[in-house]
Amino acid sequence: MLADLVEKLKKTGLQAAPADHCYAGPEDVACDVCTGRKLKACKSCLQCLASYCEKHLQPHYELPVFKKHKLVEPSKKLQENVCSCHNEEMKVFCRTDQQSICYLCLMDEHKGHDTVSAAVERSEKQRELEVSRQNIQQRIQDREKDVKLLQQEVEAINGSADKTVGNSEKIFTELIRLMEKRRSDVKQQVRSQQQTEVSRVRELQEKLEQEITELKSKDAELEKLSHTEDHNQFLHDYPSLSPLSESTHSSSINIRPLRYFEDVTAAVSEVRDKLQDVLREKWTNISQTVTEVDVLLSEPKPEPKTRAEFFKYSCDITLDPNTARTLLLLSDENRKVTAMRKEQSYSSHPDRFTGRCQALSKESLTGRCYWEVEWRGRGVYVAVTYKNISRAGSSDECWFGRNDKSWALDCTNNSYDFWYNNVSTPVSGPQSSRVAVYLDHRAGILSFYSISETMTLLHRVQTTFTQPLHAGLWIQHFEDSAELLLKPSGCYSLSE
């Protein structure tokens, strides 16, 4: 009996009961052949439109009739490969309608359409897919490089900020140390001078007190002698009186109506006021320089469209006397400049223009700035320039608009011309004795406007500014003048 059982097992095969994890769950593809509790399918057949577990898949590997069947990963969507109209496998792709169809559909509603086999269409789409994947992979690489670059930028920004904060702290500490030293020096000098003057007064005071004591003693001696009743005794004692010591005349004590050390306070206050002026003037540049730090390029802000919008960026600009040629007279708190026939008494300064009647603003311009110029006479150049423009002589390197460091609008009574890098561009627009300048340093925009009854754009420059700019004026003829307006007035519409 045991031998018969063994022989039977050899014929039917000894199979262990499958583990629970081999059975199909709700999310798994179940074997279509299994009865009862179904096992998980390991493959699906596109020809049979069925899914098989490992046991029921064996005939596809062993029998020749199944050799050409297409096996794929288990799928619940096999029925999507069957034509709903003809119940046939869809092996054709209609490019006209962009859908899969069966052979019978070719004779029906897809007759005459552009069709290919599903395999051919898949092959082409596969190539497109590969191209898409390559593009995606390339974009991934590019984005990874960008991420790495941005990380480097973050590290660079943090490093630069930390270094700047450290350097600023060091500089301000040095300034504080210098101020502390100067405070100590003033205190020491005042105390030293105080001691010297007090010692001199004390010494004179002691001499006077000693003289007073001697005089009192002498007066007592004389008083005693004056009361002597014996005439002979008086006459005998009188010659023996000691002579008076030399007197300290009150006229030698020169008490001046001094304020003592109050003048020192005034001098220190003057230093404080000058330091405050310097800090106030330079702080704007420091603050603007900090806010101008912009690592990521962004879309430039739109240019103002109304004069009221331009006024938001109005700048209080003054001319620097140290830059004005000696034939220029500055007035109205250094906002007006007039060309004179006689040289003015300016001190020598390396920033002064020596060959052209030009002057620069004291303030450096960054960010967004707007100002207006009122001119009188035959003509004026309204310009912006880098600070490092040449100053000495009359070469093009010193002349507004004749080099790559300056941009200038030449305004006359009958024409406008824009100059840059020694190239002149004729500009058309209404003639006016008032022009306006708008600068967006970050966006690289420089615009000139004519202001009459309307505000008309004369010329716009789009470039990249690499340094802070300064406003500039060049007076072309004697007795002509130009003024930087402090508070632009009037209401104008804006026309191109």
Strand partners, 417: 410, 426
Measured CA to CA, the distance from residue 330 to residue 261 in angstroms comes to 37
What's the mean pLDDT in 428-435?
A: 92
494 against 104, higher pLDDT: 104
Least confident of 113-117, 227-231, 277-281: 277-281
- Per-residue model confidence (pLDDT) at position 41: 92
Given a cut of 80, is residue 206 above it in pLDDT?
yes
Residues 6+ apart with CB under 8 A from 376: 433, 480, 481, 482
Residues 378, 384, 389, 390, Cα dihedral to 10°: 10
Which of 480, 458, 451 has its CA nearest to residue 380?
Answer: 480
Q: How far is CA 307 from CA 301, 416, 442, 479, in A?
A: 16, 22, 21, 31
Question: Tens of pLDDT along 407-424?
Answer: 999 999 989 999 999 999
DSSP secondary structure, 281-297, as one string: HHHHHHHHHHHT---S-
pLDDT at site 408: 96
Q: Is the dihedral of CA 84, 86, 88, 92 positive or negative?
A: negative
pLDDT at 463: 93
Distance CA 372, CA 317 (A): 10
- Which pTM was predicted? 0.47
The pLDDT score that the predictor gives to residue 490 is 47
Q: Which of 351, 363, 362 is nearest to 288 (CA)?
A: 363
CA distances from 357 to 5, 402, 413, 423, 438 (A): 123, 15, 19, 20, 23
Whole-number Cα distances in Å, 461 to 205, 409, 425, 446: 80, 11, 12, 5
Confidence (pLDDT) at 491: 45
**Residue recorded with tokens 């490969």:** 81
How confident is the model at residue 448, as a pLDDT?
A: 96
* Domain spans, the chain: 122-240, 307-485
User: Shortest CA distance to 441 belongs to which of 318, 288, 310?
Assistant: 288
Contact yes or no for 432/415 (Cβ under 8 A): no
Specify whether the CB–CB gap between 437 and 471 falls below 8 A: yes
- Judged by average pLDDT, the poorest of 286-290, 302-306, 335-339 is 286-290
Q: Which helix (H) or strand (E) holds 115?
A: strand 115-117
Distances (CA, A) of 294 to 12, 153, 370: 80, 11, 22
* pLDDT per residue as tens digits for the range 132-179: 999 999 999 999 998 998 898 899 889 988 998 999 899 889 989 999
> Quick one: CA dihedral 346, 315, 371, 422, positive or negative?
positive
**Please, what is the average pLDDT of the chain?**
86
The predicted-structure confidence for 210-221, as pLDDT tens digits, reads as follows 889 988 988 898
* Predicted confidence (pLDDT) per residue in 36-92, tens digit: 889 999 998 878 888 999 999 999 998 998 988 888 888 888 777 788 788 777 889
Contact (CB, 8 A) for 446 and 370 = no
Q: For residue 319, give Cα distances in angstroms to 33, 205, 329, 473.
A: 97, 58, 11, 9
Kindly tell me if the per-residue pLDDT of 496 is higher than 60: no
Find residue 360's DSSP bridge partners. Answer: 472
Residue range 183-193, pLDDT digits in tens: 999 999 999 98
Between CA 456 and CA 448 the distance in angstroms is 9
Highest mean pLDDT among 231-235, 297-301, 445-449: 445-449
Q: Answer for the pair 411, 375: CB distance below 8 angstroms, yes or no.
A: yes
CATH topology of domain 307-485: Jelly Rolls (2.60.120)
